[in-house]
Amino acid sequence: MKKTILKQLGLTKLIALFLLISVIVSCDNEDDIPNLGNLEVKVTLASGLSDISLTDIDVTITQTIDNSTLTMNTDTNGLATFSDIPVGTYTAVVAHSTDEYTLSGTANNIIIARQETVATTVEVNAVNQDGGLVIKEIYTSGSGYVTLFKDSFVEIFNNSSETLYADGMYIANLFGDSGRTGDVSVYSVLTDENYVYTDVMSQIPGTGTDYPVAAGKSIVIALNAINYKEASANPDGELDNTDATLEHYSIDWLEAQGRTGNSFFEFDNPAVPNMINTYIFEGTNFFRLSTPGSIVLVNSDATFDASAIVDYTEPGSTSTFKVMKISIENIVDGVDILENSAAVGFKRMPSSIDGGFTYLNADGAISYTGLSNRRKIDEVATARFGRTILLDTNNSTIDFEAIDFPDKYGYNK
């Protein structure tokens, strides 16, 4: 009996030893498995589109950690396969131009896990190449010198082949957090995505023909039409905004309402016409544009009154903001600029206006960098039609880029 027990104990030890070796070998094998996964991107047409080929469409994926990119073409089924890519979170973007239209679409927050294959869909819309007025550039980050944010501007470009008039159009800074730690998505509070929400909006003056924008040209609306190069220790790092078409100035308008303006940040250049102040929330003073600022251009037919003002209170907060809602039906163009490359959850406008978003630095920290968001040139369309045409796919992930220094009137050649 004792011998049998001993034999059993010996067998038990052998089994335990075998299991231990198996675990060790298994762990070694696990360490040898690459930290990679696969992604299958299926491109589909938005509702109402047909007879459009989805073969050989460029699909680009960007990892939001290091912003590395890969591009593949779709097969005859509209499928692009990315094999053995590093794990992480990705954005998939489609931008494909033909003689008649551009296909554009984005899928965000695609999570690739180790040794797994993930399938996602990018729905694309077809956008007409010959557009009208578009937002060409938004500069809000500041230069880092004595100007702070005082030299901010928005530039509007005519992307069509004929002269257009900007009279009566509105420019609105969209309200909402941009994606910093602790931020809240504006649409988690104001859930109606038929609107965007602004805390600062102004209107271009004129009676219909006062502010022409020739084809391939632009107008600039500056916060202050001031030459900040004068008396500067670093004139190459400053802007001369005296060439602006219009400037913002609200001190007189605020004081007429019994409110207080901010003469430290706002100046009136009498040589440059002022925008018409339309709405400024009570708690807003000189910050015409958020940093970063999401901006919409609104058509001149839109009308606004007190009925368009709604309350915004973040969860757990006792502060209530009063913001004005703008119907997306009245929006001519919009650019969503957020804190960083992973901030898609904080979009300030619905995807029907901007299918993606842009940013200045991939990891945030944009204040006083001198960086600016500029729309890219559509090289294919420009060569085809012999005039400067800017990318306009209704997707700022595709259409915009961050540049080291503002390029005011840079395409007016």
Q: How confident is the model at residue 50 (pLDDT cuts 50, 70, 90)?
A: confident
Q: Is residue 100 part of a domain?
A: yes
Q: Is residue 265 part of a domain?
A: yes
Q: For 240-277, what is each residue's pLDDT tens digit?
A: 999 999 999 999 999 999 988 888 888 999 999 999 99
Tell me which DSSP letter residue 191 carries.
-
| Residue 380: Cβ within 10 Å count | 15
Mark whether 67 and 20 lie in a shared domain. Answer: no
Q: Is residue 409 part of a domain?
A: no
Across the chain, mean pLDDT equals: 88
Average pLDDT rounded to a whole number, residues 196-213: 97
Cβ atoms 85, 7 nearer than 8 A: no
Mark whether 269 and 387 lie in a shared domain. Answer: yes
Give the pLDDT score at 9: 45
Q: Record the pTM.
A: 0.79
| Residue 131 to residue 392: CA distance in whole angstroms | 8
Domain with residue 95: its CATH number is 2.60.40.10
In sequence order, the β-bridge partners of residue 42 are 79, 121
Mark whether 141 and 176 lie in a shared domain. Answer: yes
Q: Which 3 state secondary structure label does DSSP give 260?
A: coil
Mark whether 233 and 139 lie in a shared domain. Answer: yes
Average pLDDT rounded to a whole number, residues 203-229: 96
| Residue 100: Cβ within 10 Å count | 10
Tell me which DSSP letter residue 100 carries.
S
Of all residues in the chain, the percent with pLDDT exceeding 90 is 66
In the predicted model, is pLDDT for residue 337 greater than 70?
A: yes
Cβ atoms 201, 168 nearer than 8 A: no
Q: Is residue 408 part of a domain?
A: no
Cβ atoms 154, 275 nearer than 8 A: no
Q: For 275-322, what is each residue's pLDDT tens digit?
A: 999 999 976 554 567 788 899 999 999 999 999 999 999 999 999 999
Domain boundary residue among 93, 128, 163? 128
Which is more confident, 201 or 161?
201
In sequence order, the 6+-apart residues with CB closer than 8 A to the CB of 407 are 137, 372, 374
Average pLDDT rounded to a whole number, residues 132-156: 89
Amino acid at 154: V
Mark whether 229 and 113 lie in a shared domain. Answer: no
Cβ atoms 287, 149 nearer than 8 A: yes
Give Cα separations from 40 to 73, 97, 122, 400 (angstroms): 12, 22, 11, 26
Q: For 31-45, what is each residue's pLDDT tens digit?
A: 678 889 999 999 999
Give the pLDDT score at 99: 72
Mark whether 14 and 83 lie in a shared domain. Answer: no
Give the pLDDT score at 172: 96
User: What is the domain range of residue 105?
Assistant: 36-128
Mark whether 121 and 196 lie in a shared domain. Answer: no
Q: Is residue 413 part of a domain?
A: no
Strand 117-128 relative to strand 331-335, pairing: unpaired
Give the pLDDT score at 2: 43
Cβ atoms 284, 259 nearer than 8 A: no
Which of these, 351, 389, 391, lies nearest to 373 by C-alpha position? 391
Q: E strands within 218-282?
A: 218-222, 246-247, 276-280
Domain boundary residue among 110, 128, 146? 128
Which of these, 347, 321, 324, 356, lies nearest to 172 by C-alpha position? 324
Q: Is residue 410 part of a domain?
A: no
Average pLDDT rounded to a whole number, residues 352-373: 89
Q: How confident is the model at residue 1 (pLDDT cuts 50, 70, 90)?
A: very low
Q: How confident is the model at residue 381 (pLDDT cuts 50, 70, 90)?
A: confident
Mark whether 89 and 143 lie in a shared domain. Answer: no
Domain boundary residue among 109, 128, 147? 128
In sequence order, the β-bridge partners of residue 137 are 155, 374
Mark whether 233 and 106 lie in a shared domain. Answer: no
Mark whether 42 and 176 lie in a shared domain. Answer: no
Mark whether 81 and 152 lie in a shared domain. Answer: no
Q: Which 3 state secondary structure label does DSSP give 164?
A: strand
What is the number of structural domains in the chain?
3
Amino acid at 8: Q
* 196, two tokens: 């965007």
* 117, two tokens: 């294959």
Give Cα separations from 376 to 84, 155, 389 (angstroms): 31, 13, 9
Mark whether 41 and 170 lie in a shared domain. Answer: no
Q: Is residue 47 part of a domain?
A: yes
- Half-sphere exposure of residue 412: CA atoms within 13 angstroms, side-chain side: 15
Q: Is residue 67 part of a domain?
A: yes
